[in-house]
A and B are shown apart, each in its own frame.
Chain A
Amino acid sequence: MKKIVLGSFLAYTVLFAEVTVPEILTNNDFETAEYQFFVTNTKGVEITKDMIGKVVFEGEVKNYYTFYNEMNSKSFKVSEQLANNISLQNKALGDALFFKDVKALQNIGIASVGSLALNALLGGVLGDDSYVKVIDYYKGNILQTRLIKYIISDDGLDKTERELVYKTSNNQSYHFRSGGFQSIHYK
């Protein structure tokens, strides 16, 4: 009997993962707040204590996309020059570049770099309260990975609370609603 009780307890705990959450976010019984917290690790490298994090961007999603668009424009220009130089020697290599894909997308009516692209994008994402924090993690002077934390909320999170959510986890995404946290794994 003891074994069964212990066994079922283990199976139960396996289903839960721990996060450290500020009380302020879970103790409010009178107001329902809801948010989704997504953590993306671009290189999939685990964040360890010996890494140093440098915040690259923090703010509203609209400003984040403006920031990303500027970065894309720079890459596009570099890629364009590179494609022109490489194409003379090796056409296949030149064709595989970022510049080439952006051009091909433009030909089917999808702008991906510049103000046109930004306007098309922002029309679809401004419906929610969304916030982004981008952190680059370094070991020594070498960039290990980039962590992008993305919060979508109803209008229940103020600036301090958003900061607290960013601190809850470095490695898992979850959905919060009225004291409950959940994440789904699809097999």
Chain B
Amino acid sequence: MNKKTLIGLSVLGLLLASGCSGKSANPEIYKKAYVKKKEVTVKYSGETRFESVKGSDTLLKVFHKLKGKKRWTAELIISALEKTNEEVKKRGYRYYQIVFPKPISNLDGFPINNKEDLASFINPATSMPRHTMGMFESRATLMDNQDEQNVVKLPFTIFGDTEFNFIIRMVKEPMVHEIVWDVEKE
């Protein structure tokens, strides 16, 4: 192998190596990006019912249902949480935790404690950045359990009711590690 071929091959090797490592070459280059803040008005709809849990003054069952099969579960979640906020305030507490269903139980460590994030968690499609999606991109999300995260009950037919049932624990003075919802926060 002559000298020129050797140099040529090493240059080619260098180019290939840098091309392959393109993604992790400079991971710390940051630039400004914009988060589009979408404002959505949700009117209270459906019906909310509260029920005490036997043996406790601070546990409360919340039942919320909307007539028909609803894919846009944000409406259901926002309505239920706003009503819960009012109820907790009325009962003289400032904080509460969701303790059931398990996938959203703050008592078990689930970190989300505001209605925007919870609605997006339960149904990611509601928070998709559609303004920048290409023509051929799917409008379905790539993430699993995109409809209800096993939290909302969707009926099989349009004649059933869509339900969001959960249990809360009202808290007067939360401990340091406790994840609580604050009714004073809008």
Contacts and interface: CB of A to CB of B under 8 A. Distances in A.
B100 A110 contact: yes
Contact of A104 (B53, B109, B178): B53
Given A108-B53, A128-B144, A182-B129, A16 B35 contact: yes
Instruction: Please indicate which of the listed interface residues B36, B38, B121 has the most CB atoms of chain A within 10 Å of its own CB.
Output: B36
Interface string B93-109: 00000011111010111
Contact of B103 (A125, A175, A176, A177): A125
A180 to B, nearest CB: 3
B176 interface: yes
Nearest to B34: A16
B14 to A, nearest CB: 21
B113 A40 contact: yes
Nearest to B176: A143
CB-based closest 5 A-B pairs? A180-B132, A68-B109, A180-B129, A182-B129, A104-B56
A186 B74 contact: yes
Given A180-B132, A183-B35, A96 B58 contact: yes
A45 interface: no
Contact of B38 (A21, A75, A185): A185
Contact of A36 (B39, B127, B182): B127
Chain A interface size, as a band, is 35 or more
Which label, helix, strand, loop or mixed, suits the secondary structure of the A interface?
Answer: mixed
Contacts of B23: 24, 28
Given A24-B26, A24-B29, 8 more contacts: A22-B29, A23-B31, A68-B109, A117-B108, A160-B27, A175-B124, A182-B36, A184-B120
A67 B112 CA distance: 17
Interface in B107-143: 107-109, 111-117, 119-121, 124, 126-134, 137, 141-143
Contacts of A15: 36-38
Contacts of A120: 102
19 contacts: A15-B37, A16-B37, A18-B32, A18-B33, A36-B121, A36-B124, A40-B112, A64-B109, A112-B105, A124-B103, A125-B103, A127-B145, A128-B143, A148-B111, A174-B127, A178-B129, A183-B38, A184-B39, A186-B41
Contacts of A112: 99, 105, 107-108
A128 B23 CA distance: 24
Interface of A: 15-24, 26, 28, 32-34, 36, 38, 40, 42, 44, 64-65, 67-69, 71-72, 75, 95-96, 98, 100-101, 103-105, 107-108, 110, 112, 117, 120-121, 123-125, 127-128, 132, 143, 146, 148, 150, 152-154, 156, 160-161, 164, 167, 172-187
B182 A105 contact: no
Contacts of A67: 109
B175 interface: yes
Contacts of B33: 18-21, 26, 181
B108 A72 contact: yes
B80 interface: no
